[in-house]
Amino acid sequence: MKVADHGILGAGYRGATSGIVLVVTLLAFENMAVGTVMPVVADDLNGLPLYAWGFSATLIMSLLSTVLAGGWVDRAGPSRPFMAGLGAFLAGLVVAGAASSMEVFVAGRAVQGLGTGISLVAMYVVIARVYPENLRSRVFAALAAAWVLPSLIGPALGGFVAEHIGWRWVFLGLIPLVIPPALALVPALRGIGEPGTAPANGGGRVPAAVAVAAGAALLLYGLDGTGWTTTAAAAAGIAGLVFGLPRLLPPGTLRFHRGLPSVIAVRGLLSGAFTGAEVFIPLALVRLHGFSAGTAGLVLTAGALGWSAASQIQGRSERPREFYVLLGAFCVITGIAVATVCLRFSGWTTVLPWIVAGAGMGFAIGSLSVLLLRLSPADEQGVNSSALQVADTLGSSLVVGVAGALVAAFGAARLGTGLAVAGALCAAIAAFGVFAAFRLEVRT
C-alpha cells in the first residue's frame, strides 16, 4: 500500500494520516483533561489514598493489552485491533464518568488503559506498513502536533467543566469524540497488512504479560502499606516482574545492550521519569500554592507545547535520530530537577522548566519510534512496538506508583516534602535514561 508520494497528506496517505491524528487528538484531550481534574476527583470521591492508582491502573492495563495486541496485530493486521481498542476506551470513559466511588473510578481508568494499549500498538503497525521510512519522522511529528489543540484548551476546559458542570462530564463528554476517528479509519484501514506469521500462542508472551501486569499491581499495592500482607504482595510482584519482563523485552534491554534494547530502555526510563513528575504537578499546585484546577492545568499545557514544538524540530531535521534522543534525555532530567526545586517556592516558576522537560520528550520520543521501526524486521514490527509500549507503560506505572507511595507516606501534613522526594526520584530515573541514550548506536 506504500505509494510514491512526497508528503503524509498526499493521495496515498491522506486517509490514514487523518484517522491516526484524530485518534491521538482524542487521547490527548483525555490525558490533558484528566491530569488536571484528578485533584477534584480525589476530593469528591474521598480518594486521595488512591490518587496514584487513578493513573497507575490505566498504565498497568495498557501494559497488558499492548502485549496481547502485539501478536494479534502481527497475525491479523491492525484493522480489527484498532477498532476494538477504541471500543474499550469508550467503555472505560462510561465507567469512570459514572463512578460512585474511587474504586469504581480506578476500574474505569483500567478499562481505558486496556483500549489505549491495543490502539497504540495497532497504530504503530499502521505507520510501519503505510509510510516509507523517510516519512515516518513526519508522521510522528504530526502526532505530536495533534497535542497542540488539546494542550491549549484541554487543561483549562477540563478545569472549567470540573468546577462549573462536574468532573464526570470530563469523561462522559469525550464519548462523542470517539466517533469521528472511527469513521475516518474505516476506509483507511481496509486492506492494510495481510495476516503475518506470528506464533498463535505469542511465544509465551501472554502468561508473561499477565505476570508483569499482576506483578506491577502487586508491587504497587505492597508499597502502599506495611505488614506481612503487603510485604508478601510486594515480593510476589517482584517475582512476577522477574519472570515476565525477560520474555516481553528484547534480550539485553535490562542491561542496556546497544541498538534496539537500549531504544526500548530509554523509552521506559524517560517516560517513567516524565510521567511520574507530571501527574503530581497539579496536586502540588492546587494543594501547596492554591491554584484552581484550570489554572494548574496551564503548567501542563506549557509542557505539552514544548513537547510538540521539539517534535516538529526533530521531525524535519536531517540530524541522526540518536542525537535527538540524547538531547531530549538531557532536557528531561534538567526540567524535572529544576521544576522540583521550583515547586517548593512558587507555582508559576515551574512553567519554564516544565517546557524544557516537555521539549526533551518531544525530541526523544519520535526519534525513538523511528529507530524502533528501523531496527525491526517487517514480521516483528507488532511485537517490537508492543515491547516499546510495555517499557513505556511499565516505566510510567511503576514510577507513578512508587512516587505516590512516597507522597502518601509523608502524609497531607508534609505533602511538600513528599512531593520533593518524589521529584528527586524522577530526576534520578531520568539520569539512567541519559546513560542508556549513549548506547543507541550499534557498533560494527
Residues near 190 by Cβ (< 8 Å), separated by ≥ 6?
Answer: 79
Amino acid in position 287: R
pLDDT at 444: 47
Report the distance separating Cα 245 and Cα 223, nearest Å.
Answer: 20
Report the distance separating Cα 278 and Cα 117, nearest Å.
Answer: 20
Q: Report the Cα–Cα distance between both ends of the chain, in Å, rounded.
A: 33
Report the distance separating Cα 70 and Cα 385, nearest Å.
Answer: 7
User: Residue 164 corresponds to which cell in the numbers above?
Assistant: 462549573
pLDDT at 124: 76
User: Residue 86 corresponds to which cell in the numbers above?
Assistant: 477504541
pTM of the model: 0.73
What is the DSSP annotation of 4-52? Answer: --SSTTSTTTHHHHHHHHHHHHHHHHHHHHHHHHHHHHHHHTT-GGGTT
Q: What is the mean pLDDT of residues 399-408?
A: 87
Is the pLDDT reported for residue 200 higher than 60?
no
Highest mean pLDDT among 150-164, 176-190, 220-234: 220-234
Per the CB < 8 A criterion, the answer to whether 393 and 275 are in contact is: no
Q: How many CB atoms lie within 10 A of CB 46?
A: 10
User: Residue 383 corresponds to which cell in the numbers above?
Assistant: 511485537
Report the distance separating Cα 436 and Cα 253, nearest Å.
Answer: 10
Q: Say what percent of the chain tops pLDDT 70.
A: 90
Least confident window among 16-20, 182-186, 242-246: 182-186
Least confident window among 159-168, 266-275, 372-381: 372-381
Is the pLDDT reported for residue 6 higher than 60?
no
Report the distance separating Cα 127 and Cα 130, nearest Å.
Answer: 5
Residues near 186 by Cβ (< 8 Å), separated by ≥ 6?
Answer: none
Domains along the chain? 14-190+203-437 (1.20.1250.20)
pLDDT at 191: 60
